[in-house]
Amino acid sequence: MTTFQEQDATHTNGTSAVGPGRSPALEFASAWDYAPTPESAKVEIADRYGHYINGAFVESISGDVFETINPATVETLSVVARGTAEDVDAAVKAARQAQPRWAALPAKERGKYLFRIARRLQERAREFAVLETMDNGKPIKETRDVDIPLAAAHFFYHAGWADKLAYAFGGANPEPVGVCGQIIPWNFPLLMAAWKLAPALACGNTCVLKPAETTPLTALRLAEVFDEIGLPPGVVNIVTGDGEAGAALVEHPGVDKIAFTGSTEVGKKIAAATAGTGKKLTLELGGKSPNIIFEDASIDQAVEGVIAGIYFNQGHVCCAGSRLFVQESIADAVVARIENRLKSLRLGDPLDKNTDIGAINSAQQLGTITRYLDSARDEGLTRHEPNGCALPDKGYWCRPCFFTGVQPSHTIAREEIFGPVLAVQTFRTPEEAITRANNTPYGLAAGVWTDKGSKIFEIAGRLKAGVVWLNCYNRFDPASPFGGYKESGFGREGGLQGLRGYVRL
C-alpha cells in the first residue's frame, strides 16, 4: 500500500516532477520548466475494505476480494470485498427496510442530512482529492478543482430541493420511487456517486450503489462521511465488486429504479434486463461529441476549449469533444496551434500540482486506446503528438495526440475511444458542419465556437445532443441537466429535470 510519506520520498531527489519513483523529466515542453510541486497531504488507506451495508462495513458473504491499484504506479492501494448476488440481496433488503422511515422524515430534515454531507465533503476535500487521484490516476488539479467541489455542490443543490419538491412538479404530489440501484463508472468516481445519490436521497429514496471495480475507494470514504454525520443505517448501501455485482443489482426484484452510467454495450444489456419489470430506468452512456470551430471564432480561445474538451481527464470523459470540425479556411492555423499547445502539456505524476495529463485508469483501457491508435495507423491516418516525451516505465500512460486527414468512415471518427485522442475533420459551410456533427449514433454533447450570436442559436438548435456548449467546453453545474439522445442514453441528471427520475407523480 502506498502511503503519502513514501510518495513524498520519491519527490525529494531534486529532479522534475515525474511518475512516482522516477526521476527523469517527462514534460513535453522545453520552453519552460516547473519545480516539482507534489501534493503533501497524507491520506490513510486501510489494508482492507468491506461493503457498506446497513450502516456497517462487512465482508462479502463469499469471502471474495479484489485489489484496487494506483494506475500511475501499479501499486496495490487496498483489498476490497468482491460482491455477489448474496451481498446485493443484503444491501437491497437494508435499503428496503430503511426506505419508509427515510421517506417519512420531514423533508427539511432530509435536506439537513444532505447539507451535512456536502459540508463534510468540503471540509475533507483535500483528502478526497488525493485519494481519488491515487485510485483513478487523474491529475490532482482536476480532482481538487473539479471532481470534489462539484460532488459537494451536487449535495448542496439537492439539499435545497428536498423540502421544495411539491413546487418542482407544478402541484403534483411527488412520491419517492423506493429503492434505487445505482451503477457508476471509473472516470469520475466520487462525482458520479454524488450525481446519483444526492437527487435520490432528496426525493426520499434509499440507495444501493455499485462503484466501478477499479475505483471503489472514494465511495467507501463517502460511507465514512455518512457515518460521521449520522445518516440512518440502510439509507445508502455500497456494494463493491465487478460487473457480476452490477448485473445482480439490475436483476434484483426488490429494486424499483436503476440508474446507470457507463458503456453503451452494458447499457443495452440493462435496458433488456429491466424491460417489462416495471423498474424505472435512466441510462447515461457513451458519446462521440463534436466540437465545431467556425472561421469567425476567437481561435486561441477555441483551441483552449478543444484541449480542455479532449485531453482533460485523459479523455476519460463520456462527453469528450473527440471529433473536431474546423472550417476549412482556418484549419491550418488551428492545427498548428493545437500542435503547439500539446507541447506545453505536462504528463506524469498525477499527484504533482503541475501535471495536466495523468495515468490511464487501467491496463484494459490502455489496451482499448492502443487498439484504436493501431486502427488509425492501419487506415493510413497522420498522427500528431509531441516529440520527445518519455513515458514513465511503470503505470499506464498514453501520449495525448490528434489525427488529421480524418474522414467520417474512419474508425476513430465513429467509435468512442475514451482516451486522449482527437480526430480532426474540416468543413466548408455551416450546413455541412451540422450534418457531419450529427452523423453519429451518439448524442451526448457538442461544442460550438463562433463570434456570431445568430449562428450560435441556429446551430445549437439543430445539433442532436443533450448538452451544447457555446464558446466553452466541459462546463458542469448541478442546476444544469445532463444526459443524452440516441445511443448516449435517456433521462437527465442534475437540475429540475434530474429529479424526475427519482419521483413518481
Using CB under 6 A as the criterion, which residues of the chain lie in contact with ligand NAP when the complex forms?
Answer: 183-187, 210, 212-213, 242-243, 246-247, 250, 261-263, 266, 269-270, 284-286, 318, 368, 416, 418
The footprint of Mg ion on residues 58-77 (CB under 5 A) is 68
Q: Which stretch binds Mg ion (CB under 5 A): 85-93, 134-142, 244-252, 379-387?
A: 134-142
Return the number of the residue (97 or 277) whose C-beta is nearest ligand NAP: 277
Which does residue 483 bind out of ligand NAP, Mg ion, none, counting CB within 5 to 8 angstroms by kind?
none
DSSP β-ladder status, 401-404 and 421-427: parallel
The closest of 54, 46, 142 to 92, measured between CA atoms, is 54
Which does residue 19 bind out of ligand NAP, Mg ion, none, counting CB within 5 to 8 angstroms by kind?
none
Q: Is 322 in the site for Mg ion (CB under 5 A)?
A: no
- CB 426 to ligand NAP: min, Å: 26
Active-site residue, 318 included: yes
Return the number of the residue (68 or 218) whose C-beta is nearest Mg ion: 68
Q: Is 240 in the site for Mg ion (CB under 5 A)?
A: no
Return the number of the residue (313 or 426) whose C-beta is nearest ligand NAP: 313
Return the number of the residue (131 or 159) whose C-beta is nearest Mg ion: 131
Spatial distance between the Cα atoms of 12 and 35, rounded to a whole number of angstroms: 11
DSSP-derived secondary structure for 455-490: HHHHHHHHS--SEEEES--S---TTS-B--SGGGEE
The footprint of Mg ion on residues 160-189 (CB under 5 A) is none
Can you tell me which of 75, 89, 132, 135 binds Mg ion, judged by CB under 5 A?
135
DSSP β-ladder status, 290-293 and 75-81: unpaired
Return the number of the residue (149 or 243) whose C-beta is nearest ligand NAP: 243
- CB 109 to ligand NAP: min, Å: 31
Active-site residue, 207 included: no
Helix pair angle (125-136, 217-229), 10° resolution: 160
Spatial distance between the Cα atoms of 302 and 128, rounded to a whole number of angstroms: 32
- CB 478 to ligand NAP: min, Å: 17
Q: Is 284 in the site for Mg ion (CB under 5 A)?
A: no
Indicate the SS3 state at residue 450: coil
Q: Is 2 in the site for Mg ion (CB under 5 A)?
A: no
Return the number of the residue (243 or 405) whose C-beta is nearest ligand NAP: 243
Which does residue 247 bind out of ligand NAP, Mg ion, none, counting CB within 5 to 8 angstroms by kind?
ligand NAP
Spatial distance between the Cα atoms of 316 and 304, rounded to a whole number of angstroms: 18
Spatial distance between the Cα atoms of 383 and 373, rounded to a whole number of angstroms: 9
The footprint of Mg ion on residues 212-231 (CB under 5 A) is 214
The whole-angstrom distance between residue 264's C-alpha and the CA centroid of its chain comes to 15
What is the 8-class DSSP label of residue 313?
G
Which does residue 7 bind out of ligand NAP, Mg ion, none, counting CB within 5 to 8 angstroms by kind?
none
Indicate the SS3 state at residue 75: strand
Which does residue 318 bind out of ligand NAP, Mg ion, none, counting CB within 5 to 8 angstroms by kind?
ligand NAP
The whole-angstrom distance between residue 108's C-alpha and the CA centroid of its chain comes to 30
Q: Is 133 in the site for Mg ion (CB under 5 A)?
A: no
The closest of 357, 345, 320, 336 to 404, measured between CA atoms, is 336
Residue 204's Cβ-count burial label (10 Å; 0-12, 13-18, 19+) is: buried
- CB 474 to Mg ion: min, Å: 23
- CB 260 to Mg ion: min, Å: 20
Please list, residue by residue across 163-189, b when 16 or more beta carbons sit within 10 angstroms of its beta carbon and e when fewer do: bebeebeeeeebebbbbbbbbbbbbbb
Which does residue 135 bind out of Mg ion, ligand NAP, none, counting CB within 5 to 8 angstroms by kind?
Mg ion
How far, in Å, are 93, 146, 160, 399 from residue 389 at the CA level?
Answer: 52, 27, 47, 8
Which does residue 183 bind out of ligand NAP, Mg ion, none, counting CB within 5 to 8 angstroms by kind?
ligand NAP
Residue 240 C-alpha cell reads as: 463493491
**Which residue's Cβ has the minimum distance to ligand NAP?**
246
The closest of 369, 297, 304 to 327, measured between CA atoms, is 297
Spatial distance between the Cα atoms of 127 and 222, rounded to a whole number of angstroms: 11
Size of site (CB under 5 A) for Mg ion: 3
- CB 250 to ligand NAP: min, Å: 5
Q: Is 261 in the site for Mg ion (CB under 5 A)?
A: no
The catalytically annotated residue of 27, 132, 284, 385 is 284
Spatial distance between the Cα atoms of 307 and 286, rounded to a whole number of angstroms: 20
The catalytically annotated residue of 318, 389, 398, 401 is 318
Which does residue 455 bind out of ligand NAP, Mg ion, none, counting CB within 5 to 8 angstroms by kind?
none
Return the number of the residue (204 or 315) whose C-beta is nearest ligand NAP: 315
- 23 phi, psi to nearest 5 deg: -115, -30
- CB 69 to Mg ion: min, Å: 5
- Residues classed as catalytic: 284, 318
Q: Which residues sit at the interface with Mg ion, rule CB under 5 A? A: 68, 135, 214
